[in-house]
Amino acid sequence: MVAVHVNHEEYNYMTNNDAQCRICRSCGKKLMLKGERCNTPKCAMVTRNYIPGIHGAKRRGKQSQYGMQLSEKQRVKFSYGLREKQFKLLFEKAKKQGNAGEILLQMLETRLDNVIFRLGLAVSRAQARQMVGHSNFLINGQTVNIPSYQVQTGDIITIKNNKAKNKLFKEAMERAKKAELPGWLNWNLTDLEAKVLHQPGKDEVDQLANIQAIVEFYSR
């Protein structure tokens, strides 16, 4: 695998389906950017599992330490849908609080858009960001429409009453019934109420990449 370099145009994967696939192919791993489609034979990581470009199929080779660290950082950054400035600021904030790698993962997992994704209400984090941005949710009775909002232990997340009956949420609730919840979240489907039980531990977070390599990347 080679280092992953993605420019701002490519980053528009949030609205460009082909660019979403290019990012996964560059990272060499499924990042589930298209939700359910990523689990089908149509996934680009099944049909074109090589780096984008004319010579992509021949380019995977030995990787430098820097290239490996960069790839790991890009993989996590794009999985959670963050831009470089956002991701670096989050890392700097985590570093000030102690174990940078573990705290960074906690901060990423407790973003409201990720929580909505984990609850099964969205097929991808990109869709979850849209749902949050459209003011569909309440936290402790107050409307929150900021995807990066950090949920805290004890927070109660509910769907607005006027939103819960529309087609989007009827479909979302069917998905939520089948979702595999992480241990730090509780979902009361009867009352349409989710609760943050505690901050996620490292064993409750998907290991998308080598988090130590990310720490080393930003510590150079």
The CATH class for the domain spanning 112-198 reads alpha beta
Q: What is the CATH number of domain 10-108+206-218?
A: 1.10.1050.10
Angle at 79 between CA 217 and CA 163, to 5 degrees: 145
The pLDDT score that the predictor gives to residue 207 is 72
- pLDDT-derived band at 19, boundaries 50, 70, 90: low
Q: In this predicted model, what pLDDT tens digit does every residue of 103-141 receive, in sequence order?
A: 999 999 999 999 999 999 999 999 999 999 999 999 999
On average, the pLDDT of the chain sits at: 80
pTM above 0.85, yes or no: no
Q: How many residues does the chain have?
A: 220
Give the residue from 69, 31, 63, 99 showing the smallest Cα distance to 210: 69
Alpha-carbon dihedral angle through residues 86, 91, 96, 98, given to the nearest 10 degrees: 150
Show me where the domains of the chain are located. 10-108+206-218, 112-198
Q: In this predicted model, what pLDDT tens digit does every residue of 57-104 receive, in sequence order?
A: 555 557 788 888 888 898 899 889 999 999 999 999 999 999 999 999
